[in-house]
């Protein structure tokens, strides 16, 4: 096995590469020439998967792949794994199955559809506040506030200062590739877990119709409640997943619309035709908020004609899967009429498929509908600032002004 160092190919795990945007040229080359490729940078070897079929196969293969050794690259140090203990995303069945069953009924399409009216109220409130500003950072004023307020409402976090603290913790958790990133990651996990413990006691004294109360009352098939560690990490996971994916999707959607007038017009036309759902699906495919997740092989296994050895890490690159020409016609073209649109913005299926995907879809849909309905004109007031983040397709700042 040798590292891939073809001309025009970048090292995919270098966070600085992502400062320039998703490296689609490299993904295209790898998918065409070596869709399952071995890379060996100084931080450790890994297999890069760039084809949708291979990512789906690994995502659904619980026999040969595990999430328990970390789902991010590189292998996390022991102190980080210790902080991540009891997190559902780092569990395999049957432990994962037991925990997921406790709350997945709260995120079905039928249940989430009932969120429409109050999420719309949140979006309108945020847009009303931003309407008072002539110049502002779209990420700070809108893209962060909408999911922050929504996840706080779902969990039952009422105070503004607590909502801000939760967003701060989530931001630290996802800063893993930035300067002092691992330190911030651990601090974010610890702070969020401590906050969750405090909220558990508050909701025991004052139960309400919210997720934290539901987790307090939850019992598995054997009648057992969530242990303290399981509960705290559950709240951490719900907060992280509920905030970052939607925050990135809304921010990147606006960047895309501001930088590409033809895409802006296509999205507005689709919403005018009552096809906002199709616009959301194409935005999610085209943007792909989460760049990858990792798995570790538990035994030797063949993927795409290559032998992955026991203990080796595979990285499933979702932006590559979402531009796979075997799945999508003219994959680099934005097309709201694309049907079917079987993208992997929320994972490749299997037991770890994003449980909150219906909430994220609804938030983005409502944001687009309400923003377009106002017929407001925003223009860029400076260059977007991307994050040096391998995991999330971030826009850290998006300066805008009214046009």
Best CA proximity match to 233, nearest among 286, 279, 196: 196
Radius of gyration, alpha carbons of the chain: 21
Residue 164: count other Cβ atoms within 10 Å of its Cβ: 14
Distance CA 46, CA 41 (A): 9
Task: Report yes or no: 218 and 102 within 8 Å, Cβ to Cβ.
Answer: yes
Instruction: Give the CA angle between residues 26, 30, 31 to the nearest 5°.
Output: 115
User: Tokens 């498929």, residue?
Assistant: 353
Q: Where are the domains of the chain?
A: 15-402
**What is the per-residue pLDDT for 5?**
41
**What is the per-residue pLDDT for 80?**
77
The string of pLDDT tens digits covering residues 326-385 is: 999 999 999 999 999 999 999 999 999 999 999 999 999 999 999 999 998 999 999 999
Distance CA 196, CA 300 (A): 40
Task: Report yes or no: 323 and 335 within 8 Å, Cβ to Cβ.
Answer: no
DSSP 334: -
78 is written with which tokens? 């022991």
Distance CA 233, CA 84 (A): 8
- H or E stretch covering 46: strand 46-49
DSSP 227: P
Distance CA 158, CA 153 (A): 7
Distance CA 363, CA 250 (A): 9
Task: Report yes or no: 143 and 387 within 8 Å, Cβ to Cβ.
Answer: no
Task: Report yes or no: 49 and 43 within 8 Å, Cβ to Cβ.
Answer: no
Distance CA 388, CA 226 (A): 36
**What is the per-residue pLDDT for 1?**
40
User: Tokens 């801000």, residue?
Assistant: 164
**What is the per-residue pLDDT for 3?**
42
CATH 3.40.980.10, applies to 15-402: no
- Range list of β-strands (E), 199-344: 292-297, 301-303, 306-308, 313-317
The string of pLDDT tens digits covering residues 79-109 is: 877 877 778 999 999 999 998 998 888 899 9
Distance CA 99, CA 104 (A): 9
**What is the per-residue pLDDT for 352?**
94
Give the C-alpha distances (Å, rounded to integers) separating 293 from 71, 247, 347, 392. Answer: 6, 18, 8, 10
**What is the per-residue pLDDT for 176?**
74
- Residue 135 class from Cβ within 10 Å (0-12 exposed, 13-18 middle, 19+ buried)? exposed
DSSP 226: P
The parts of the chain modelled with pLDDT lower than 50 are 1-5, 7-8
């Amino acid at each position: 096995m040798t590292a891939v160092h073809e001309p025009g190919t970048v090292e995919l795990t270098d966070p600085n590469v992502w400062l320039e945007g998703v490296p689609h040229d490299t993904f295209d080359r790898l998918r065409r020439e070596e869709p399952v490729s071995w890379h060996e940078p100084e931080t450790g070897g890994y297999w890069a998967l760039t084809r949708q079929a291979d990512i789906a196969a690994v995502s659904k293969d619980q026999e040969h792949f595990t999430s328990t050794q970390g789902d991010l690259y590189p292998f996390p140090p022991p102190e980080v794994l210790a902080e991540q203990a009891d997190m559902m995303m780092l569990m395999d069945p049957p432990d994962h199955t037991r925990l997921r069953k406790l709350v997945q009924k709260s995120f079905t399409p039928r249940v989430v559809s009932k969120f429409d009216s109050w999420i719309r109220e949140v979006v309108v409130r945020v847009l009303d506040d931003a309407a008072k500003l002539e110049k502002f950072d779209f990420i700070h004023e809108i893209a962060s506030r909408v999911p922050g307020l929504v996840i706080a409402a779902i969990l039952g976090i009422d105070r503004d200062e607590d909502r801000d603290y939760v967003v701060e913790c989530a931001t630290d958790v996802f800063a893993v590739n930035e300067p002092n990133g691992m330190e911030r990651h651990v601090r974010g996990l610890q702070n969020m877990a401590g906050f969750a413990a405090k909220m558990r006691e508050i909701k025991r004294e004052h139960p309400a119709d919210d997720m934290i109360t539901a987790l307090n009352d939850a019992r598995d098939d054997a009648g057992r409640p969530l242990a303290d560690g399981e509960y705290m990490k559950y709240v951490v996971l719900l907060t992280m997943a509920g905030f970052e994916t939607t925050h990135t999707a809304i921010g990147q959607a606006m960047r895309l619309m501001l930088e590409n007038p033809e895409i802006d017009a296509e999205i507005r036309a689709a919403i005018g035709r009552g096809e906002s759902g199709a616009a959301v699906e194409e935005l999610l495919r085209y943007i792909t908020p989460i760049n990858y997740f990792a798995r570790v092989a538990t035994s030797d296994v063949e993927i795409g004609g290559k032998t992955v050895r026991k203990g080796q890490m595979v990285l499933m690159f979702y932006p590559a899967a979402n531009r796979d020409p075997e799945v999508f016609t003219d994959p680099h073209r934005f097309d709201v009429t694309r049907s079917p649109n079987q993208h992997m913005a929320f994972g490749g299926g299997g037991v770890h498929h994003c449980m909150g995907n219906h909430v994220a879809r609804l938030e983005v849909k409502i944001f687009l509908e309400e923003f377009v309905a106002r017929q407001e004109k925003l223009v860029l007031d400076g260059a977007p600032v991307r994050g040096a983040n391998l995991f999330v397709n971030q826009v850290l700042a998006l300066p805008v002004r009214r046009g």
